[in-house]
Amino acid sequence: MTSETDGPADVPDTSNTPDSRRRLISGLALAPAGANVIMQLSRLPIGRAVAESKVHSGSLRHHPLKRTRTTLAFIMVALFGTDYERAVMRREINAQHRFVRSDHESAVAYDALDPELQLWVAACMFRGVVDTVTLLYGPVNDEGFTTLLKRSAPFATTLQVSESRWPTDRESFEAYWTGALDDVHMDDVTRAYLQGLASLDFLPAPLARLLGPSHRFLTVGFLPAPFREELGLAWTSRNQQRFVRITSRAAVVNRHLPKVIREFPWNIIEYDTHRRIARGRPVL
């Protein structure tokens, strides 16, 4: 499900009030997560940086639950946190990222503190927000797109990207995105790594066999065509029809769930993150 279609659907108010901001929090928002991670890592320097990273404390392969928690914590702080919480998150990220850089043995040069690479990561995360809103409410119109873009600016500024570099409207974002797609590229190392993420092969074998095929299907379904092609995975019209049926039904069910269930696990992550920062404990 792509997010490129202008449509008449209303977009939820994203002002920072308890009721309106909660409309962006849904467990179903995790459905495009696998695709979004692959999009982020589809720039070769980023993919290699993660695949070769020696910082195992934040590795998805070594600590999948912790990595999932910290990623969701970043999203919650970026979208809904205070300036202080974002500053804490920024310091912790910088402390880890300064160790993620290529050396003389690396086949690809990379530096996790490169603002250009971080802008790409932030842009992919914003795409994930738009994909989620599209899934839950329908296509996003221009006004709604601009509102979501403004709300998502901390994805970039909580990293190493200056606010002046963040696009201000749909036209400027799409211009950036179209140009950045030229830099989407995988080599054999990153392609194998990302295919493994799609199949959940970092989980214990029984879980990977049970959950992997469904996760792989949804992940490929949420990926735009250029990323599918680079990943080397086929997608047919029959796949697309099945994907639309599944996601449409899930969105309907999601709207009728009790709030506490609908917001899981974001509500738990938000509580835990606030508590960690308030007590001076590390988030990452």
Phi and psi of 101, rounded to 5°?
A: -150, 155
Q: How confident is the model at residue 56, as a pLDDT?
A: 59
The larger pLDDT score, comparing residue 58 to residue 8, is at 58
Half-sphere exposure in the Cβ direction for 175 (13 Å, CA): 8
Q: How far apart are CA 275 and CA 259, in angstroms?
A: 22
Q: How confident is the model at residue 112, as a pLDDT?
A: 85
Structure tokens at 109: 């040069």
- 6 pLDDT band, cuts 50/70/90, is very low
Q: How confident is the model at residue 100, as a pLDDT?
A: 83
Mean confidence (pLDDT) of the chain: 86
Q: How confident is the model at residue 23, as a pLDDT?
A: 64
pLDDT surpasses 60 at 8? no
The pLDDT > 70 percentage for the chain reads 89
Task: Give the model confidence (pLDDT) of 14-69 as tens digits.
Answer: 444 444 455 677 888 888 899 999 999 999 999 988 888 766 555 666 678 888 89
Is residue 267 classed exposed, middle or buried when 0-12, 13-18 and 19+ CB atoms within 10 A define those classes? middle
| Number of residues written out for the chain | 284
pLDDT surpasses 60 at 12? no
In the chain, how many H helices and how many E strands?
Answer: 15, 0
Q: How confident is the model at residue 61, as a pLDDT?
A: 67
Q: How far apart are CA 48 and CA 191, in angstroms?
A: 10
Per-residue pLDDT, averaged over 64-88, amounts to 90
Distance spanning both ends of the chain, measured CA to CA: 31
CB 52 within 8 A of CB 64: no
Structure tokens at 60: 């998805």
Of 12-16, 119-123, 245-249, which range is least confident?
12-16
pLDDT surpasses 80 at 248? yes
Per-residue pLDDT, averaged over 163-175, amounts to 95
Q: How confident is the model at residue 93, as a pLDDT?
A: 92
Angle at 64 between CA 106 and CA 258, to 5 degrees: 140
Three-state secondary structure call for residue 50: helix
- 9 pLDDT band, cuts 50/70/90, is very low
pLDDT surpasses 90 at 259? no
Residue owning tokens 């910082």: 55
Alpha helices (H) along 138-204: 142-151, 154-157, 170-180, 188-198
CB under 8 Å to 239, separation ≥6 — which residues? 217, 220, 221
Per-residue pLDDT, averaged over 123-138, amounts to 90
